[in-house]
Amino acid sequence: MDKIRSHIMVCGGTGCVSSHSEELISALKAALVTAGYDQEISVIKTGCFGFCGQGPIVKIHPDNVFYVQVTPNDAEEIVKEHIVKGRTVHRLLFEEPEMKGKLESHDDMTFYKKQYRIALRNCGLINPENIDEYIAFRGYEALGKVLTEMTPEDVFYMIKESGLRGRGGGGFPTGLKWELTSKSEGTEKYIICNADEGDPGAFMDRSILEGDPHSVLEAMVIGGYATGAHQGIIYIRAEYPLAIKRLKIAMDQARDYGLIGKDIFGSGFDFDIIIRLGAGAFVCGEETALIHSVEGLRGEPTKKPPFPSESGYKGKPTTVNNVETFANICPIILNGSPWFKNIGTETSKGTKVFALAGNVNNVGLVEVPMGTTLREIIFDIGGGIQDGKGFKAVQTGGPSGGVITTLDLDTPIDYESLKNIGSMMGSGGMIVMNDTTCMVNIAKFYLEFTQDESCGKCTSCRIGTKRMFEILTKITNGDGTMDDLEHLDALARMIKDTALCGLGQTAPNPVLSTMNYFHDEYLEHVNDKYCRAGTCKALSKYSIIADKCIGCTACARVCPVKCIEGKAKEVHVIDQSKCISCGACFDACKFDAVLKP
Amino acid sequence: MTKPESQSKTYSAGVLPKDKYDKLDQYISTLEDKEGSLIHILHKAQEIFTFLPQEVQLHIARHLDIPAAKVFGVTTFYSYFTSTPVGKHTISLCMGTACFVRGAEKIAHELKDKLNITSGGTTEDNLFTLKEVRCIGACGLAPIIMIDDKVFGRVKVENIDSILKEFKEEV
Amino acid sequence: MGIKSLDDLKKIREDSLKKVNLRETGKDGENITEIMVGMATCGIAAGARVTLAALLDEISKNNLENIRIIQVGCLGYCHSEPIVQINQPGKEPLLYGNVDDKKARDIINKHILKNELLDDSIIINTFQKA
């Protein structure tokens, strides 16, 4: 049946189509017919290759040759040379800017090296419910090595050397955390995996637990050995039923093999893991709050010190690490800390997983080395902004972070650089916003979240975030004054300085950063009672452009409050005092005559 | 975390079936660290009773020999627990950031209008309870609503009727 | 069976490697085609169960042997869920995106049976891994 021996794959993504990939496909097909090869070679249109700046892109399968900027005029040459004579068309190969060399295979290109998967190494590659497949990809080898060849000191020293920092947001050096717990007095110690991924718009931890649960279990045992803990606890959101199910299966399989339990690898080291369910409270991502929740209490944070490494779960020394942090441990043990240190920037080593979402074409999980720029992530990997709209801002760090604008798109990202531009790494949510997003409304959205999630323990967070939310609501309703802006700014700074835990201290960030970068939008809302994005209903009124209106009456017929006046074939007018800004007229008009506020 | 007013008041459900209490007691007896497992017990109780009325909270407190105030405190702290009855189907409307920037607000308005309830409320016919939830984690399909366990992605205002219809017709 | 030493682990690893080699290199000791379906929450929400059912249905209708269906986690291409990857001996693995019931059936009837790749669905791998 194997008549077709080769496939010419042409990118059919939006970017490539706009640079004439459709015509290229026709030209290739025609050239194949002329050459008499149309029965054995087929032309296939594919999804986006994510290399849109070089489009249209052509890949010959299975030769793995990769051509860029191919025009319909090149079709004949590709067929005559590559297909018929088997010679690569060098002219069309991609030239690596730094190496000045032409590259044939797409695997060699630095572009495709932009994503480097350490934490996600097995996701989508193995069956998460089969421990043997994990073992096939060097699973549990790191644990074996640790238990048979290394002392606990060797382990935390190695992690310290690697420069790995906490991936949950704070960026505390993981090796140091382990060392501190290890050196705390007491024989009863605990290690907790924080899988309470509460940042709205972040789902990297869930993906790791669902796709590669053993990588977390194995690292927990290693962490237990390094810190002197014999009990591991996974604290996971009840909202992640599939991840819980797969974790349970993985734990049973690991127990059957003796990889958790008593006398692991014959080393005399005992370690077991239990699961504790969260119940929906964002503040439980904070480690002291999390520990209280694990104890079955209200998840309220307590003052540090004492740090959990001295007094945590049940008052015993406890280490809390995030899922993604754990997922990095085994590769470091297997490949050594120099390998890991080689990736990333001066202060931030390794890679970071981001959940790229919002108004971007290729929504998905990406794992890039630290130091990659936001532009590369959003425009190269993410394929740019949806529906051809303009980029406005990107929010990192979720409700604790801030917005980043075009000004800083080329900043290489790491823990420090993000902080310097008013945001933070956070757990890795990355929400892209286009130019129809109102920044005041976004700030309000985040404050609504934090005031709702505030545990209520300290006054500045409990009352402060609520007041900020009220002021923002007032502004988006068109009742804001210049005084409000001042109060908002003062309140934000005060909460930042006085709140008890990370949640409160970072809650004002979305407001401060939007006020900093989009001050004019705040002013417009307050002074002109105008929302340029048209999202604040109270401030947005529709109008009709007289020149474009042909008087078809379509808008007047759909208006639910009958506020559009005008006779057939005459210009229509919207009575703005009655308009409820539903947008029905805008949708109904076929002549682009309705102006959206 | 704060909740809609209707949920933070204790709700009395009167006498509930004994076999349900037995099932809960049975579960509690399997636990080693009973007090530390309060959240797990509440999860189980909510699974059995579908909600956590005053009587159930008291029952748990007495069984574990801890103050009822503590049980109440934990129940009201976490958004996952509800102390008022819920409808036959729970509509979880994702209000995560990704859904928000892709128009979840419009969907929220439409649902509230259509069902004539506010967030946390239950329709008159006891068919639907509307909950606004934080990220379900399917951001690629934003905006999302989830009815019971079924996820509907890339929801448009126009589609809401047909989605709801599916569940209305079941009855 | 318990694992008590690195050698025990190695043994299991070698046995399992034969099964998974195909996924990365296209090398295979068993001459089996693998179809991997992304079954993480987002994949399932996007309809991966329907996809899986359609694949199984076509495989049994055509009495195909030497095909193994494997459920895997998230590949990160959320924009194109459900995702299906085809690993055939001697060939580079291929990824399909937005695989609904019809496309799943086409994958068996066209790609697997006739070696005709499907239009508009192929995704190119864009990462390297440790």
- The residue of chain B nearest to residue C45, with distances taken between CA atoms, is B151
Q: Which two tokens stand for residue A220?
A: 């927990």
- CA distance linking residue B137 with residue C7, whole number of Å: 40
Asked if C128 lies within 8 A of A123 by C-beta distance, the reply is no
Whether A44 and C122 lie within 8 Å, measured CB to CB: yes
Amino acid at A23: E
Share of chain B above pLDDT 70, in %: 92
Taking the C-alpha atoms of residue A144 and residue A350, their distance in angstroms, rounded to an integer, is 23
* Burial track A212-239 (b if 16+ CB lie within 10 A, e otherwise): bbbbbbbbbbbbbbbbbbbbbbbbbbbb
> Cα(C33)–Cα(B164) distance, rounded to whole angstroms?
41
Between chain B and chain C, the number of residue pairs with CB atoms below 8 A apart is 26
For residue B6, the model assigns a pLDDT of 46
CA A349 to chain centre: 18
Q: Hunting for tokens 């864009």 — which residue is that? A: C126
Query: CA-CA distance, A274 to C96, in Å (whole number)?
Result: 37
Cross-strand bridge partners of residue A42: A7
Quote the pTM value: 0.84
Cα(A77)–Cα(A58) distance, rounded to whole angstroms? Answer: 13
Q: CA geometry: angle at A237 spanning A235 and A241, to 5°?
A: 115
Query: What residue ranges in chain B does DSSP mark as E strands?
Result: 89-94, 128-133, 145-147, 150-152
Residue C124's pLDDT band (cuts 50, 70, 90): confident
Residue C37 in domain: yes
Residue C1 lies in a domain: no
Q: Sketch the domain layout of chain B as residue ranges.
A: 5-77, 89-169
Size of interface A-B (CB pairs under 8 A): 115
Burial of A6 (0-12, 13-18, 19+ CB in 10 A): middle
Cβ distance of B137 and C42 shorter than 8 Å = yes
Which residue bears the tokens 């060699």?
Answer: A108
Alpha carbon of C79: minimum distance to chain B alpha carbons (Å): 5
CB contact under 8 A, A200 and B135: yes
Distances, alpha carbon A536 to alpha carbons A211, A270, A518, in Å: 40, 58, 15
Contact of B119 with chain A, judged by CB distance below 8 Å, is answered with no
Q: How far is C89 from chain A (nearest CA, A)?
A: 12
| Interchain CB distance below 8 Å, B80 and A239 | yes
pLDDT of A52 reads 62
Helix (H) or strand (E) holding C34: strand C33-38
pLDDT value for A123: 85
Note whether residue C130 is domain-resident: no
pLDDT at residue A174, rounded to an integer: 97
- The answer as to whether C26 is a domain residue is yes
Amino acid identity for residue A68 in this structure: V
Q: Which residue has the higher pLDDT, A118 or C28?
A: A118
Which H or E element spans position B63? helix B54-64
Minimal Cα distance from C76: which residue of B? B140
Q: Give me the residues of chain A with pLDDT under 70, please.
A: 1-4, 13-18, 47-53, 96-113, 597
> CATH classification of B89-169, choosing from 3.40.640.10, 1.10.390.10, 3.40.30.10, 3.40.50.300?
3.40.30.10
Contact call for C45 and B141, based on CB within 8 A:
yes
Domains (range + CATH), chain A: 6-109 (3.40.30.10), 131-338 (3.40.50.11540), 351-434 (3.10.20.600), 439-528 (1.20.1440.230), 541-595 (3.30.70.20)
Write out the E strands in A341-397.
351-358, 364-369, 391-396
Closest residue, chain B, to C43 (C-alpha)? B138
Kindly report, residue by residue over C85-101, the tens digit of the pLDDT: 988 887 778 889 989 99
Q: Per-residue pLDDT tens for A267-303? A: 999 999 999 999 888 898 899 999 999 999 999 999 9
Interface check for C45 against chain B (CB to CB < 8 A): the answer is yes
Distance CA(A14)–CA(A553), nearest Å, equals: 35
Name chain B's partners: 3 or more CB pairs within 8 A. Answer: A, C
DSSP secondary structure letter of residue A344: B
**C chain contacts of residue B139, beta-carbon cutoff 8 Å:** 42, 78
The whole-number pLDDT of residue A591 equals: 86
Q: Do C2 and A363 touch (CB under 8 A)?
A: no
Mutual orientation of helices A141-149 and A213-227 as an angle, nearest 10°? 10
Interface check for B40 against chain A (CB to CB < 8 A): the answer is yes
Q: For chain C, what is the domain count?
A: 1
- Pairing mode, if any, of strands A429-434 and A391-396? antiparallel
- C-alpha A218/C-alpha A234 separation (Å) is 13
How far apart CA C92 and CA C111 sit, in angstroms, is 14
CB A427 within 8 A of CB A171: no
Residue C54 pLDDT: 94
| Domain CATH code at residue C91 | 3.40.30.10
pLDDT for residue B2 is more than 70: no
The verdict on residue C66 lying in a domain is yes
Cα–Cα distance measured from residue B91 to residue B147, given in angstroms and rounded to the nearest whole number = 4
Residue C10 lies in a domain: yes
pLDDT tops 60 at residue C80: yes
* pLDDT value for B46: 93
CA distance linking residue C41 with residue B137, whole number of Å = 8
Contacts of C94 in chain A (CB under 8 A): 61
**C50 part of contact set with chain B, CB < 8 Å:** no
For residues B123-129, average pLDDT? 91
Q: In this complex, do A299 and B78 lie within 8 Å of one another by their Cβ atoms?
A: yes
- Cβ–Cβ of B80/A197 closer than 8 Å? no
Q: How far apart are CA A60 and CA A136, in angstroms?
A: 31
Instruction: Give the whole-angstrom CA distance, residue A502 versus residue A563.
Output: 49
Return all residues near A241 (Cβ < 8 A) that are at least 6 apart. none
Q: Which of A126, A131, A122, A128 is nearest to A253 (CA)?
A: A131
Residue for token digits 């000791």?
Answer: C29
Return the H-helix or E-strand segment holding A236: strand A231-236
Nearest Cα residue to A358 out of A432, A445, A439: A432
DSSP single-letter state for residue A193: E
ipTM of the complex: 0.85
Alpha-carbon distance C45 to B139, whole Å? 11
For A531-578, how does the pLDDT look when each residue is reduced to its tens digit (9 = 90+)?
A: 888 788 778 777 888 888 888 888 888 888 888 888 888 889 888 777
Is residue C75 a part of any domain in this protein?
yes
Q: Work out the end-to-end distance of chain B between its first and last CA atoms, rounded to an integer number of angstroms.
A: 35
Q: Where are the beta strands (DSSP E) in A359-406?
A: 364-369, 391-396, 402-404
Nearest to B151 among C45, C78, C79 (CB): C45
Q: At what angle do helices B18-29 and B54-64 cross, to 10 degrees?
A: 40
B111 or A114, higher pLDDT: B111
User: Which range (A30-39, B52-61, B136-145, C107-116) has the least confidence?
Assistant: B136-145
The reply to whether residue B140 touches residue C41, judged by beta carbons under 8 angstroms, is no
Give me the residues paired with residue A59 across strands.
Answer: A9, A66
Structure tokens at A511: 């407001």
More confident residue, B71 or A577: B71
The residue of chain A nearest to residue B141, with distances taken between CA atoms, is A363
